[in-house]
Amino acid sequence: MISSTSTSKIRPEHLERLALIYVRQSTLAQVRDHTASTARQYDLRQRALDLGWPSSRIVVIDEDQGASGASAVDRDGFQRLVVEVGLGRVGAVFSLEVSRLARSCSDWYRLLEICALTHTLVVDEEGVYDPALYNDRLLLGFKGTMSEAELHWLQVRLHGGKLERAQEGKLRFHLPTGLVHDATSQIVLDPDEQVQQAVRLVFEVFDELGSARAVVKHFATHKLLFPTRIYGGERAGELTWVRLRHSRVLSVLHNPLYAGAYVYGRRQSRTETLPDPHLRIRRRLGRVKREEWLVTIQNAHPGYITWEQYQRNQQRLDDNRTHDHKERRGAVREGTALLQGIALCGHCGKRMYTRYKKGSAIPTYYCVGQNRELVCRLCQSIRGDGIDAAVVGALLEAMQPAELAVSLASLEQIEERARQIDQQWQLRIERAQYESDLARRRFYHVDPENRLVARSLEREWNEKLEEVQRLEREYADLPRATARLSSPEERQRILALAQDLPAIWHAPTTTNAERKQLLRFLVKDVTLARKEQAVHIAIRWQTNAVTALEIPHPKKGYAAQRTTAAVVERVRELALTHSDRQIAEILNEEELTTGVGEPFTRLSAYWVRHSNHIPTGCPEVPTACPGGQRGDGRYSTRAVAELLNVSRFAVAKWCKAGRLDAIQEGRLGPYWIRLTPEIIAELRKPAS
In 3-state terms, what secondary structure has residue 214? helix
CA 247 to chain centre: 15
Residue at shortest CB range from Zn ion: 379
CB of 345 to Zn ion, least distance (A): 3
Residue type, 124: D
Phi, psi torsion values for 531, nearest 5 degrees = -110, 175
529 lies in the site for Zn ion, by CB under 5 A:
no
Q: Is 604 among the residues known to form the active site?
A: no
Site string for Zn ion, 358-377 (x = CB under 5 A): ---------x-x--------
Considering only residues 83, 242, 348, 592, which one is a binding residue for Zn ion as defined by CB under 5 A? 348
Q: Which is nearer to Zn ion, 161 or 349 (CB)?
A: 349
Q: Where are the beta strands (DSSP E) in 518-585?
A: 523-530, 535-541, 546-551
Three-class DSSP category at 676: coil
Any residues with CB less than 8 A from the CB of 375 and at least 6 apart, and which?
A: 368
By beta-carbon proximity to Zn ion, the closer residue of 304 and 365 is: 365
Cα dihedral 577→582→588→592 (10° resolution): 30
Give the separation between CA 58 and CA 60, rounded to whole angstroms. Answer: 7
Q: Are 357 and 333 in contact (CB under 8 A)?
A: no
Report the residue number, 367 or 683, with the smaller CB distance to Zn ion.
Answer: 367
Contact of 179 with 190, CB cutoff 8 Å = yes
Q: Which stretch of DSSP H or E encloses residue 587?
A: helix 580-589
If the CB atoms of residues 380 and 469 are measured against Zn ion, the closer one turns out to be: 380
Nearer to Zn ion, 263 or 379 (CB): 379
Binding-site size, Zn ion (CB under 5 A): 6
Cβ distance to Zn ion smaller for residue 21 or 345: 345
Cα–Cα dist 433/465, whole Å: 8
Helix ranges restricted to H, 267-333: 307-327
Is 345 a binding residue for Zn ion by CB under 5 A? The answer is: yes
Q: What is the closest distance, in whole angstroms, from the C-beta atom of residue 529 to Zn ion in the complex? A: 9
Only segment of 33-41, 259-267, 348-356, 542-550 that touches Zn ion (CB under 5 A): 348-356
Among 187, 253, 337, 379, binds Zn ion (CB under 5 A): 379
Q: Indicate which single residue of 40, 119, 290, 347 sits in contact with Zn ion (rule: CB under 5 A).
A: 347
Build a one-symbol-per-residue string for 286-325: x at contacts with Zn ion by CB under 5 A, - elsewhere. ----------------------------------------
Q: How far is the CB of 612 from Zn ion (least distance, A)?
A: 30
Buried residues in 20-31 as b, exposed as e (16+ CB within 10 A): bbbbbeebeebe
Spatial distance between the Cα atoms of 472 and 494, rounded to a whole number of angstroms:
37
Report in angstroms how near the CB of residue 367 gets to Zn ion at its nearest. 3
Q: Assign 325 to helix, strand or coil.
A: helix
Task: List the catalytic residue out of 26, 55, 251, 456.
Answer: 26
To the nearest whole angstrom, how small is the minimum distance from the Cβ of residue 553 to Zn ion? 17
Q: How far is the CB of 534 from Zn ion (least distance, A)?
A: 18
Asked if 351 is part of the footprint of Zn ion (rule: CB under 5 A), the reply reads no
Report the catalytic residues: 26
Give residues in contact with Zn ion (CB under 5 A): 345, 347-348, 367, 369, 379
